[in-house]
Amino acid sequence: MSSFPLRPRLVLRAGFAGRRELTDSETRVLDESLDLILSSLGHRLAALAPGVPYEGGAVPPITSFYSKDCPLLRLITGLCEGADDRASLALDRLQGHCALPQAGESSIAGCLQTELGVVLPFRPEVYRRSRSTAYLPRFDQLLARSAWVIALDGIYDKPAPDTSLAKRRRARAYRAQSAVLLRQSDLLIAAANPDDDGRAGGTMETVREAQAFDLPVIFIHTGKSRAEEAIYLIEPEDLIPNVLAGEAPKSAERTERLHAWINYLTADPDAGLTAGSHQAEKARKYGEQVLKEFFDEPESPEAAEARWLSRRRKAAWVWFEGWFKKGPKAKSDPPLEPYATYRRRATRLNYHYTGLYRGAFILNYAVAITAVILAAISLTLLGTAAHTPLAEQVASVLKAAGLEPKDVAVNPQQQPWLVPVLIALAAGKMGLLFFIFFNTKTANDCHWNDRAIDTRYLAERLRAMFYLPLVGSQQPPAAALPQFASRAVRQSAVDWLFDAIVRSVSPADLAAAQPAQIPSHDGSSTVQIRHLLTPQPRQTIALVRDSWITVQADYHEGNTQTMHAMHHGLEQWQKVLGWAVIAIVGFDLVLLGIKILHWPHALYGFAKLATPWLIAASAILPAVVAAISGIRFQSECQALAERSDVMRSILVGREEKKTGRYAQADGLALSIAEQSSNPATEVGSWSHDVLRFTEHLATDFVQEAAEWSVVYAKEVSEPG
């Protein structure tokens, strides 16, 4: 891929799990059901894709941001005989001229591509030994045809008689296979008779795991006599026995619900909006702006940096933050393409908009202080000159009070330079006030803070994809919705973008997926595997520990120290300036006492000259204190410091790397090393353990990013 990200392809990933043994009747029902299901999925994908000549009714506007490539239906199986084999044959029938339209639909020939992906619990040649002899030629054929194969680190052990260790090894391997298959899927197609006994990693167990993983399930009841009676749709929150105890949905209802599922999975931002409402239109337009910029405006940060004012805004924040910068400097994560291309774009936009937003409110407060200074100077000059109507009125009031003009700092002489100076000061104040209005309006109308939050959120989610694919996951944990927040930035367009990117990236796109070959089942030739990915759990957990956890702990340590320094530094300045105001007022009272007590004439003259400027200072300093308070509020430095401190404790604990996620990762790495050192007792399938740990860690980070977006969701305010 180029340095600028391409639009993601429209991809739907359907995992498949089914029984190994099938009767002729079950095979017939399964074939008919798969044809109906895959055809319905394929037609809806063709209707949603923006670049294919297929008309399938109205589509959500968000789909226009997919690439114009032909949509892809990816089927992921365990390459077992029986149901898995029938599913691969159904995928063949769907492709090309065999993709027959249903009633009221057009043919999708040429409008859809299909792909077969495979997840194996063991190395391909080891797994093949566990299959029946009659299936071996077909296994080799499907293995060579598959676009990619993920082979896990399970240990196949089936002695006669069987042992508890061998059973445990196989159970761990098949459960790991089931877990990774679900992590490659958007929905699960399952074929089984729920009345049959299940096994470890079997179909019914996989269905329950899919629900727990929040995946919808298309269940084919192989015990039924007709396909129309066999297809059930199970939502993640449904009770499986209750659904299967009822009747299967009719054809029209089933098609409508399947299409709704695909809309939800591939076009979620528009699915939840109330059409025609003001908020829906506003959210849709904002989402379109974010996506257009991400894909179609590669020059946006550079173009903005070419403008003098944009550079000043960003420089203002860099300068301000530099006063408080402390702590360790975090290293970069080891990039994983093609995700790194998208993350670089998100990070670039995040730095750009964060600098603009923070620089905007720093400039606002600096300009507001300057305006107060100019106003104070103007009033002071007015008070020390008698040639203006205002100054003359002041002098008259003082005279009526028994004070002659000579007793106060009023100059009765005309001063030609004063009028131009006052006009210049007034123009300067007006210009500064106009700048504050323009700066605030620009920042809020352009949604700088919202975009900074969105792009940081996207970058954090993409960071997880530097690690999760290494253990076989292309389905990262979702972020929980922020609760009890009065205002949260709507991130559904960004969530759609992230999910679309993840779906479009195939395991075959990863650098670790390499071509391979193994001897054929009979040894007469070789089987060419296009892309074989073999997760290395021991190396991956070490990478997660040393690169992800440690680097992010350093980042949050540095952020904690910087934000604490900013909070306490601004707080100290507020205190110092507050005492300075009190001191000025006190000094002014002393000068007043000099007048009353008729102290030496030299001090009396000094008091006359100093009083107006002390009054000006007593007006300026409170404005500075208010500006500092506004910066503390706008930057949320205390809240961000506390959040980073908590996040660091989650990662490495309060005592350096003794507890927290680092200690858990280190313990898991030690367990794997100890097990690997003793092959006689090793249970294998550590990929599943590393996968679950990495997902928990990813959940920590995505939750932190989602909650951070609520804390920091605010517009630039005008200093007042």
Question: pLDDT digits over 685-700, tens only?
Answer: 999 999 999 999 999 9
Same domain, 204 and 344: no
Residue type, 671: S
pLDDT band at 152 (very low <50, low <70, confident <90, very high): very high
- The answer to whether residue 489 scores a pLDDT higher than 50 is no
Residues 666 and 702 in one domain: yes
Q: 194 and 323: one domain?
A: no
CB atoms within 10 A of CB 270: 20
Measured distance CA(497)–CA(292) in Å, rounded:
11
pLDDT at 276 over 70: no
Question: What is residue 21's predicted lDDT score, i.e. its pLDDT?
Answer: 87
Whether residue 649 sits in one domain with residue 551: yes
Q: Say how far apart CA 40 and CA 42 lie, in whole Å.
A: 5
Domain assignment present for residue 652? The answer is yes
* CATH classification of the domain holding 221: 3.40.50.450
**Mean pLDDT, rounded, for 395-414:** 53
pLDDT at 57 over 90: no
Structure tokens, 362:
């720093």
* 3-class SS letters over 635-676: HCHHHHHHHHHHHHHHHHCCCCCCCHHHHHHHHHHHHHHHHH
Tokens for 681, please give them: 């007792």
110: left (phi over 0), alpha (psi -120 to 50) or beta: left
How many percent of the chain have pLDDT more than 70?
82
Domain count, the chain: 2
Q: What is 56-109 written as a DSSP string?
A: -S---GGGGGS-SSPPEEEEEE---TTHHHHHHHHHHHHSGGG----TT----T
Residue 415 — pLDDT band, cuts 50, 70, 90? low
What's the mean per-residue pLDDT of the chain?
Answer: 83
Quick check: is 596 in a domain?
A: yes
Look at residues 243, 271, 299 and tell me which one is the last residue of a structural domain: 271
Q: Which of 507, 541, 500 is nearest to 696 (CA)?
A: 541
Whether the per-residue pLDDT at 38 is higher than 90: the answer is yes
pLDDT tens-digit readout, 200-248:
668 899 999 999 989 999 999 998 988 889 999 999 999 999 999 999 9
**pLDDT by residue (tens digit) across 289-336?**
899 999 988 777 767 766 777 878 888 888 888 888 887 888 889 999
568: pLDDT confidence band, cut at 50, 70 and 90? confident
The answer on 171 and 238 residing in a single domain is yes
Residues 614, 655: one domain? Answer: yes
Residue 283 lies in a domain: no
Residue 707 has pLDDT above 80, yes or no: no
Do 156 and 36 sit in the same domain of this protein? yes
Q: Are residues 89 and 226 in the same domain?
A: yes
Residues 369 and 444 in one domain: yes
Question: Which range has the worst mean pLDDT, 158-162, 477-481, 601-605?
Answer: 601-605
Q: Is residue 705 part of a domain?
A: yes
Residues 166 and 297 grouped into a single domain: no
What six digits make up the tokens of 443? 């920042």
Whether 482 shows a pLDDT value over 60: the answer reads no
Q: Is residue 279 part of a domain?
A: no
Kindly state whether residue 496 falls inside one of the protein's structural domains. no
Which residues, at least 6 apart from 196, have a Cβ–Cβ distance to it below 8 Å?
19
Domain identity same for 17 and 162: yes
Structural domain boundaries enclosing 648: 288-472+535-711
Whether the link from the prior residue into 338 is cis, omega within 30° of 0, is yes
Same domain flag for 323 and 463: yes
Quote the strand ranges of 356-451, DSSP E.
none
Tokens 């093949």, located at residue: 128
**pLDDT for residue 484:** 39
Specify if 27 maps to a domain. Answer: yes
